[in-house]
Amino acid sequence: MVHWTAEEKQLITGLWGKVNVEECGAEALARLLIVYPWTQRFFDNFGNLSSPTAIIGNPKVRAHGKKVLTSFGEAIKNLDNLKGTYSKLSELHCDKLHVDPENFRLLGDILIVVLAAHFTKDFTPACQAVWQKLVGLVAHALARKYH
């Protein structure tokens, strides 16, 4: 059973309120594909991923990044029920998409770096700790239905 203090929830929702989901999502996914190039294996149909510039400018990467981060937003609305929120998506990532759950952890780490770059000193150590906890729990929830 996940436990969030009121302060932790505030650190999450307070920051999330200032996030441009489309931009942040696009950047996070692009950086995932650039920093950990083996993650490109899931996106053969995305077209040109041949260079960092191509990846950053790729409209499918942008669109998918937005989709992924929008889903994150759902988690933030349901912090007390991450398992339920991600149940169907977990099945999808296992049965249809065949994504190694390690990739969820990689994306989570990338998202943290993107948030740090965006919010700079406002991304305090306390903030980082809570967000690292959140991305870890999201990764766990997405892996939960794997079999």
Partner 1 sequence: MVLSAADKSNVKAVFGKIGGQVEEYGAETLERMFITYPQTKTYFPHFDLGKGSAQVKGHGKKVAAALVEAANHIDDIAGALSKLSDLHAQKLRVDPVNFKLLGQCFLVVVAAHNPAVLTPEVHASLDKFLCAVGTVLTAKYR
Interface stretch with partner 1, choices 30-38, 64-72, 73-81, 93-101 (CB under 8 A): 30-38
Q: Which of 20, 35, 48, 81 binds partner 1 (CB under 8 A)?
A: 35
Q: Which of 89, 132, 140, 144 binds partner 1 (CB under 8 A)?
A: 132
Three-state DSSP at 43 gives coil
Cα 84 vs. chain centroid, distance in angstroms? Answer: 17
- Considering just the CA atoms, what is the radius of gyration of the chain in Å? 15
Interface stretch with partner 1, choices 39-47, 63-71, 76-84, 124-132 (CB under 8 A): 124-132
Could you tell me the two tokens for 110?
A: 């990338």
Please report, as residue ranges, which positions from 51 to 110 form the binding site for partner 1 (by CB under 8 A): 52, 55-56, 109
CB of 26 to partner 1, least distance (A): 11
Q: Does residue 26 touch partner 1 according to CB under 8 A?
A: no
CB of 119 to partner 1, least distance (A): 8
Could you tell me the two tokens for 141?
A: 């929830």
Dist CA 39 CA 134 (whole Å): 21
Q: Does residue 43 touch partner 1 according to CB under 8 A?
A: no
Distances in whole angstroms, Cα of residue 77 to Cα of each of 23, 115, 134: 20, 19, 12
